[in-house]
Each structure stands twice: as structure tokens, then as C-alpha cells.
Structure 1
Amino acid sequence: MEEYMALSIRSSGYPLLTTTSCIGMEDTVTQENFDWLATIPRALKGAAIVARLMNDIVSHKFEQKRGHVSSAVECYMKEFGVTEEEASIGLCRQASDAWKDINESLLLPNAVSRPVLTRIHCITCAIDVVYKYGDGYTAPDDTLKNLIASTLIEQVPL
């Protein structure tokens, strides 16, 4: 499980997504901020953990049907000798701990600019919405479509 997580954090697109989303923010993001992001600090690592675990939990059964062999759920089940449901509960606990790292970075003084930390938090919130009700990335359904529509299209009644 530890080896899987170390590899998946580095190989996932979430640290890259966060870093590239800061391009063009010359007024608030400096070279030092990009250097800090390149070290994959606790907040960014937490975001990658949340994304990886939530994705693996909701897409586990579908990916097993497609022949994917490794996922956090499979690794957890094999390492700890637990059922799929128990593995999901344990992985949810790990995702919750990763959220604590992200939130702590927002609350405590930090060497990086606030907009970078906010960007990490906002992208992780978006990931949370995509995976909270199922695999909204691979198989978007009406739930995710309705959430997006209610946020971006529908008027708020006054």
C-alpha cells in the first residue's frame, strides 16, 4: 500500500494540474512558489492522496471488470486481509487525514503565497465533488451534470 501510494502520488496528474493552473498568475505566484510546488509539499501531496483514493474507491469495481489489477482498494485488501467494504472505510479515513494536511496549510503560516494554497484547496474541492457521488470523471451521470448546471447555468432566485 505504501509503495502504491508513493508511486500514484508522483504519477497522478493532480500535482501537475495544480502547478500548471498557477501559470499566468504573475502578480501573486513567484518562481519560489513554483519551486515549492515542485517539492510536492504536504498540502499538494494531500490533494493527490484525496484524488487518488476517492477515484480508486468509486471506480474499483468498474476497473476490475476492465482488467486493471492495481488500485488502492486491491492493495489495502491484500495488505491488511480485509473485505472491499473495510478497505473502502480505511481508505476514506486516509483521505480524511489528507484533507487535514490541506486545511492545516491554509490555517498555519506558510512560506508560499495564499493564492497557491487556495488553488490547491479549490482543485481538491472540485475533485471531491466529481467523486463524491460516484465516478463522475469516467462515467458522469445526471448527478454531476445537475451540480454543474446549478452552479454555472441556473439563476439563483432572489
Structure 2
Amino acid sequence: MIVLITTLDDIYDTHATIEECRKLQGAIQRWDESAVSVLPEYLKDLYRELLRTFRNIEADVPIGMNYEISYLRKSIQNHVTGYLQEAEWAHKNYTPSFKDQVDLTSLTIGAPTLSVSVMAGMTDEIMKQALEWASTIPSVVISAGKIVRFMNDIGAFKRRKCKGDAASSVECYMHEYSVSGEVAIARIDALIEHEWKTLNQARFQNRALLPALQRIIGLAYTASFFYDNRNDVYTSSTLLQEIIESFFVKPV
């Protein structure tokens, strides 16, 4: 799912024209092999692979297991609709308000889709309940998405200056409040702390769903792995070497 999300993100950010973005979003809403006919050649294989991946997931779900693939399909459809909105903003050279940008991109960072995905690992006793809960995009999913989004945007801030995609949360904050990049980052750092508090508090609010919640918090932890110290090792993977060595080669 992460490979598919990353590929779709790159298409909407930098590779597709706005018309191609609209066609791909429309095809994914149809979710039918015949929709491939509306797509340019270079997107047809991706669309077929998306449908094939979901068929394979459905085939791999054991009989009687309470994992309903339709929740994941709907999440991807919503996800791509969000990508299209970002592409429309970039196409119009429009800078949204900080709130509007965060409301959208904390979802398109992938938290809702991945949260639904990881519910497949729940025990069968709580899987149905956990899946239905995650699919409603509860506050913990939004908080996890904001943490990853904010840390992603801070880590990518300098690199994004050379890109043509939609304005980041840092850039929207700078634009709306007429502050420097460093001031915007300091204020967003405070928002990250607030979202961690939201996740920690949630641990005590629904103990029955704690195993599902822990998986969503685990997704938020990945932000620290990829974007700590204002780096962006998700994009510049050569920087991962030092991190991997610190875990496995040069332990404390």
C-alpha cells in the first residue's frame, strides 16, 4: 500500500497534467477494468496494478476473517480525491489557508488508508470493530496524519522550494501569518507536540481498541524515523545509512 500511495503521490505532485489527474481520479472512482480506456498509456499499467493488488488482497483474506476489503477500496478512492484537490490548487497556483491545507494534507499523507490497512493484523475478535472504527477516520488517525505531515513538510521545506506541487503547511503558515520559515517551523513544532498529547491521551479512552490504536501510533512513529532533525530520508534515502548503522551496526 505504501508503494501504491507513494507512486500515486508522485504522479499527482509532479508527473501528470491536471487533465490526467482528473482522468485517473475518475477511473479510480469507477473501479472497473473498462475505465482504463480513459487513461493515457503510462497510467494504464498503474491502474491495472492497483486493481490487481486489491484482487490479490481479497483472495488472500482467509475465509471467515472479518476484514472487509471495501473499506480499504473506499479509503483509496477518498485518498486520490484529496490528491486531485492538491493538484487543482497547484494548477491554479493557489495558496490555501493553513487550516485548509492541513485539513486536507493530513489525510493525503496516507494515515487513513494505512490505518485501515494495518487493521488486517488485528485478532479476529476485534478486527471488525477495529476496521469500522479506523474507517471513520477518528481523531487519532487525524493526529497521526498531522504528525507525519508536519514533520514531512519541515524536513522537505528547502527541497520543496524547487518543486511545482501545492504549497506545504510551512509555506501556507508563512504566507498567512507573514512570518519567516524558521518562525513557521517553530510554531508547527508546537502543534506536533499537541498531536502527540492527543495520541497519548487516547490510550486511556478506549482500552478495548488499544491494540488497534497502537498500530496507528506506530504509523506516527515512522515520522521520527524519516523526518527527524529536519531531514527527509524518505526522499533522500542515502541518509538512511547512518540511521540503519545506529540500529544494527553501531548500537549504544
User: Is residue 73 of structure 1 aligned with residue 170 of structure 2?
Assistant: yes
Task: Tell me which residue corresponds to 2:111.
Answer: 14
The corresponding residue for 1:87 is 184
Q: Of 172, 195, 220, which residue of structure 2 is paired with 1:124?
A: 220
Is the 1:29–1:115 Cα contact (8 Å) retained in structure 2? no
* Unmatched runs of 5 consecutive residues or more in structure 1: none
Tell me if structure 2 keeps the 8 A contact 1:22–1:29.
Answer: no
For residues 68-124 of structure 1, give each alpha carbon's deviation from its aligned partner in whole angstroms, at most 9, with x where no partner exists: 341001100011110010001011111111111111111x23165111111111221
Larger of the two Rg values belongs to structure: 2
**Contact 1:47-1:102 within 8 A present in 2 as well:** yes
Structure 1 residue aligned with 2:236:
139
Distance (whole Å) between structure 1 residues aligned to residue 154 and residue 141 of structure 2: 20
The CA deviation at 1:55 is: 0.4
Rounded to whole Å, the distance in 2 between the matches of 1:145 and 1:22 is 30
Maintained 8 Å contact 2:226/2:234: yes
Instruction: Using the TM superposition, give the Cα deviation of residue 34 of structure 1 relative to its aligned residue in structure 2, in angstroms.
Output: 1.2
CA contact (8 A) 2:106 2:146 kept: yes
Q: Using the alignment, how far apart are the partners of 2:174 and 2:222 within structure 1? A: 28
The gaps in structure 2 that reach 5 residues or longer are 1-97
Q: TM-score, normalised by structure 2?
A: 0.56
Identity %: 29
Give distance in 1, aligned partners of 2:228 and 2:251.
23
Could you say what the CA RMSD is over the residues aligned between the two structures, in angstroms?
Answer: 2.0
Aligned-partner Cα distance in 2 for 1:149–1:116: 30
Partner of 1:104: 201
Give the count of matched residue pairs. Answer: 154
CA gap of 1:60–1:109, structure 2 versus 1, over 3 A, is: same
- The one-letter code of the counterpart of 2:164 is G
More helix as a share of residues: 2
Query: How far has the Cα of 1:156 moved from its partner?
Result: 6.2
| SS of corresponding position for 2:137 | coil
Give the residue type in structure 2 aligned to 1:52.
R
Query: What one-letter code is carried by the residue in structure 2 that aligns with 1:130?
Result: F
8 Å contact 1:56–1:73 — kept in the other structure? yes
Amino acid aligned to 1:140? S
Shift in CA distance, 80/155, structure 1 to aligned 2, threshold 3 Å: closer
1:48 is aligned to 2:136: no
